[in-house]
Amino acid sequence: MRLLISTLLASFSFGLTSLAVQAQQSVSDTQVAAMVEALRRAAPQTGKVNDGLYSDWQVQPGTVKAWSKFCLKKELSPTQFENSPATARQVVSCITRRELDKHLRATKNNETLAVSGVACWWMTGNYTGCNGGFTAAYVKKVVGFYQQQRSKPAVTQ
């Protein structure tokens, strides 16, 4: 009888733990893909060929190295990042997932606030302070592109 009760309690406890883990996984692949695409579409276009920014996301060289080391466990040069759109997207998706997840939790799953915070961080390195000028316009642009992406019907395979 004790064994049966212990087994039931353990099963119940495991079930609660599984639910807690699932509840913590707040960012979906769809949200990450929408954010990645919004950041790509909103990336400032300098009009210069060698502007010191890399890939469709216009990432700074030092950032490329740090993010690739974090996400791929190896440091990429800016040229490697630039020359492989698939790898650039993989790294950007990894960082975006980390940041969007953090901000969805911080905003109690307020998607618009989370996207705004990530867009501000993407442009400035800070999560707040993008209330005026160029950065405010950029954040607004990212949020608009994100909402467009999220409103598209899911592609079934």
Tokens of 90: 């993989």
What is the model's pLDDT at position 76?
Answer: 93
Range with the lowest mean pLDDT among 3-17, 62-76, 109-123, 136-150?
A: 3-17
What does the pLDDT average to over 49-71? 83
What is the model's pLDDT at position 8?
Answer: 39
Residue 146 domain-assigned?
A: yes
Residue 112 domain-assigned?
A: yes
What does the pLDDT average to over 64-79? 93
Q: How many CB atoms lie within 10 A of CB 49?
A: 5
What does the pLDDT average to over 26-34? 93
What does the pLDDT average to over 38-52? 78
Residue 111 domain-assigned?
A: yes
**How many residues does this entry show for the chain?**
157
Residue 145 domain-assigned?
A: yes
Tokens of 34: 């929408």
Report the alpha-carbon distance of residue 146 to residue 119 in Å, rounded: 10
Residue 3 domain-assigned?
A: no
Taking 70 as the threshold, does the pLDDT of residue 95 lie above it? yes
What is the model's pLDDT at position 22?
Answer: 39
Residue 20 domain-assigned?
A: no
Residue 14 domain-assigned?
A: no
Structural domain span for residue 52? 26-151
